Amino acid sequence: MEEETGVRRWLVDITRWRPSPAQFDAAAALLPSHERPAIARFVKEDDRKRALVSRLLQYSLVHHVLRIPFHQINICRTPEGKPYLQKNCSNFPNFNFNISHQGDYVGIASEPLCLVGLDIVSISKPQGETTTEFISNFSSYLTDHEWNCIVRAGTPSEVLTEFYRYWCLKEAFVKAIGAGVGFGLHRLEFHHEHWTDISIHIDGEVSRKWRFWLSELDEVHLASIAKGHPEDAVSSYKKTLSNATVVEEQLHSTLESPDGAFTLWTVEQLTQSLGNSLTERGSFGLLFTITEHDIRSTKVFAMAATPLSFYPAFLQTCSVMGLISIDVPCIEKRGITLVIEI
């Protein structure tokens, strides 16, 4: 078995998922109940899909990497809104992850030691204004060096793409350190050689504690990864890390390792993965045991000590996992017995 590194780069294309209302609700039912209101508050379908998939990615990643039973995963957020795992893993003292979603994609990145930030941007042509007018709205967030590189990039399309590259990198850094919207993006200045060997200047000083990668997901989507020293995290986020004072040798080794490519997941793979973990270990804060045996062409799943209130959620989980109910539950003193077809 390959040794676990704690490093992940996952990506989901939400345009490939066209769920019915019932399928969407079934996928949402896999999450803890306190996560669902944040999904339901969105009006547009694509926004709800991004919100749901971002949470599915977080819980699935934590379960895959740290092998924490699903019902024990507790993802919290700092006052600035950065998600973190409340109970960390001793093997990866600074295990942290970052989520991003825009346009067609939702992505997540994790690291065991360094801070990690991920940002995805969708390159959208300005409506009702020229490219120059559009990027001028953001001039206060750019340094003179960055502005000059952008406006000299070439055609309006090339100028727009160049702007989004710088913007994507700035956002990845801010997200990595856990800063809020008030962080001054003009404090950051990026230098590069044809968008490789990217370096950052913070408040005019070059930093050797950070590395950046920029990639094209497709013709209109960019993704950037930022990796850096835990000591640069804002105070609220630094408190969630077990080892904020990483020694220089460890930091250098981690930063200099090449960044891997994204692994593309489908929503169906995520829900099946989570559904399997729920069936194996328990769900929705309820522990239960499952036994199965063949009865003709069906199997019986006996869920001991499971209250009746769990039954609708279990049916939704079965739906996500491709299991079809063919019988009504037999309510017993100890719980529910449900006959299903595989």
DSSP state letters, 202-254:
ETTEEEEEEEEEEEEEETTEEEEEEEE-GGGS-HHHHTT-S-SS--HHHHHHH
pTM equals 0.81
- 20 and 93: one domain? yes
Give the pair of three-digit tokens for residue 212.
Answer: 């950046």
State residue 256's pLDDT score: 81
Q: Is residue 67 part of a domain?
A: yes
Highest mean pLDDT: which range of 113-127, 266-280, 288-302: 113-127
Is the pLDDT score of 89 beyond 80?
no
Environment class of residue 276 by beta-carbon count within 10 Å: exposed (0-12), middle (13-18) or buried (19+)?
middle
pLDDT at 41: 94
DSSP state of 3: P
Q: Which domain holds residue 323?
A: 286-341
**Nearest CA-CA partner of 228 in 247, 209, 213:** 209
Q: Are residues 123 and 39 in the same domain?
A: yes
**Residues 195-233: pLDDT tens digits?**
999 999 999 999 999 999 999 999 999 999 999 999 999
Which amino acid is located at 131 in the chain? T
CA distance 280 to 287: 10
Task: Please state the domain count of the chain.
Answer: 2
Instruction: Name the domain boundary from 269, 295, 319.
Output: 269
Within-domain flag for 257: yes
Q: Which of 146, 184, 145, 140 is nearest to 165 (CA)?
A: 146
Output the pLDDT for position 72. 87
* pLDDT tens profile 137-160: 999 999 999 999 999 999 999 999
**R_g (Cα) of the chain, nearest Å:** 23
Per-residue pLDDT tens for 265-277?
999 999 887 777 6
Q: For the residues of 65-121, what is the DSSP string, one character each?
A: HH---GGG--EEE-TT--EEESS-BTTBTT-EEEEEEETTEEEEEEESSSEEEEEEE
Residues 30 and 82 in one domain: yes
- For residue 262, pLDDT over 90 is answered with yes
Higher pLDDT, 311 or 300: 311
Structure tokens at 13: 């294309």
Q: Are 108 and 95 in contact (CB under 8 A)?
A: no
DSSP labels, 159-199: HHHHHHHHHHHHHHHHHHHT--TTS-GGGEEEEEETTEEEE
Question: pLDDT-derived band of residue 280, with 50, 70 and 90 as boundaries?
Answer: low
pLDDT at 94 over 50: yes
Say if residue 215 is in the same domain as residue 92: yes
Query: Which candidate, 318, 283, 177, places its Cα nearest to that of 237?
Result: 177
- For residue 198, being part of any structural domain is answered with no
pLDDT-derived band at 287, boundaries 50, 70, 90: very low
**pLDDT, tens only, 155-181:** 999 999 999 999 999 999 999 999 988
